[in-house]
Amino acid sequence: MNTSLLKKFAVATLLAGTFFTASAALKVGDTLPDLASFKLEGKLPDALKGKIIVVDFWASWCTPCAKSFPVLDELQKKYADRVVVLAVNVDDKKSKMDAFMAKHPVSFTVVRDAEQKLVAAVEPATMPTSFILDATGKVRFLHNGFHGEDTRKEYISEIESLLK
Amino acid sequence: MKYKAFLILALPLLIIGSGCANVKPWQRGTLADYTMRADRDPLGQAQIEHMWFSREAASGGRGVGGGGCGCN
């Protein structure tokens, strides 16, 4: 086997590897896609501009998501005038979300990404994943998963830093 | 000859690659279902453990609980 063939094989392997691992996940510094263009079920909050937004991707089958809800609710109540908590459900069936919401009632906005297009565009690494956006709509903080009190403290500290 | 060798190398790669199913984190609802748990049937598990112990003179060490959602 000559060198040229080996080179071709290496390129093919590299391309295949890139194809199977390529990711356009939303990361710190990026801007969240326009939510209005994703046909989300439910009403988006009216005044999102100029506010700090906590966007949380969750599913009813995800235990840490249930644990995160009281904390997100606390954040919404604590920073009611300057922070908007927006939970995006990614369940395949609305009935699952409704059953979950009946068990875990919250004061923040919950919408459903029925077609799973927003979540596919954002590509969260875990369930739940939350993004904290500054007043310009840029992602400033990213949380993969929910780790109880540690995550709660981080949320508060990060929101406080953005409010300064 | 070169072309054949290239095919021999590339074809398995293509077959193996196309067989991969990448389940995204938001698609793991089925994996997280109770029926996917290894410890969903305590009686059945106890019977298996008993047979295992009788045959191998060893017991335990059978992984961890939980579903397959990979949450956290």
ipTM associated with this complex: 0.75
Residue A62 is a catalytic residue:
yes
Q: Which whole number is the average pLDDT over A40-52?
A: 90
Q: What fold does the segment set A3-10+21-163 form as a domain?
A: Glutaredoxin (3.40.30)
Identify the residue with better confidence: A14 or B7.
Answer: B7
Chain B CB contacts of A91 below 8 Å = 29
Strands A83-89, A52-58: pairing is parallel
Q: B32–A125: do the CB atoms touch at under 8 Å?
A: no
At residue A109, the pLDDT reads 95
Backbone angles phi, psi at A24, to 5 degrees: -115, 40
Look up A65 and say whether it is catalytic.
Answer: yes
Q: Per the residue annotation, which of A53, A65, A72, A85 is the catalytic one?
A: A65
Range B46-56 average pLDDT? 87
Report how far residue A67's alpha carbon sits from residue A61's, in angstroms, rounded to the nearest whole number: 12
B42 CA to chain A: closest CA distance, Å? 22
